[in-house]
């Protein structure tokens, strides 16, 4: 059996959760958990909404790297595009 996928770092989760205070057992299905879940989804949706523009920017980096011969820029752009399009693990 494979390990569970970690979608968010502990630091990111703590950053999002901080405004909600600590979660108590009695609030397991309550307002704090609901607000926290909405905050996580909102953050995800902001990143998802920016994805098309980020992909265009990465493709511009590819062009720039190709024109200038900057292999570091080209390699990083190719790697990021492959990751964004699911072509890598």
- 8 Å CB contact between 82 and 58: no
Give the pLDDT score at 24: 65
Q: CB atoms < 10 A from the CB of 77, how many?
A: 21
- Contact between 20 and 37 under an 8 Å Cβ cutoff? The reply is no
Res 50: pLDDT: 92
The domain limits of the chain are 10-84
- Spell out the per-residue pLDDT of the chain, length 89, in tens: 456 566 667 777 777 777 777 666 665 556 777 777 788 888 889 888 998 999 899 899 989 888 899 999 899 889 988 888 888 65
pTM of the model as a whole: 0.55
């Amino acid at each position: 059996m494979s390990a569970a996928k970690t979608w968010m770092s502990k630091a990111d989760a703590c950053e999002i959760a901080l405004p909600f205070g600590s979660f108590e057992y009695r609030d397991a299905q309550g307002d704090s958990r609901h607000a926290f879940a909405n905050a996580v989804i909102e953050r995800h949706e902001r990143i998802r909404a920016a994805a098309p523009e980020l992909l265009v920017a990465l493709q511009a980096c590819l062009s720039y790297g190709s024109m200038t011969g900057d292999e570091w820029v080209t390699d990083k752009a190719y790697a990021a595009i492959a990751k964004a399009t699911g072509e890598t693990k």
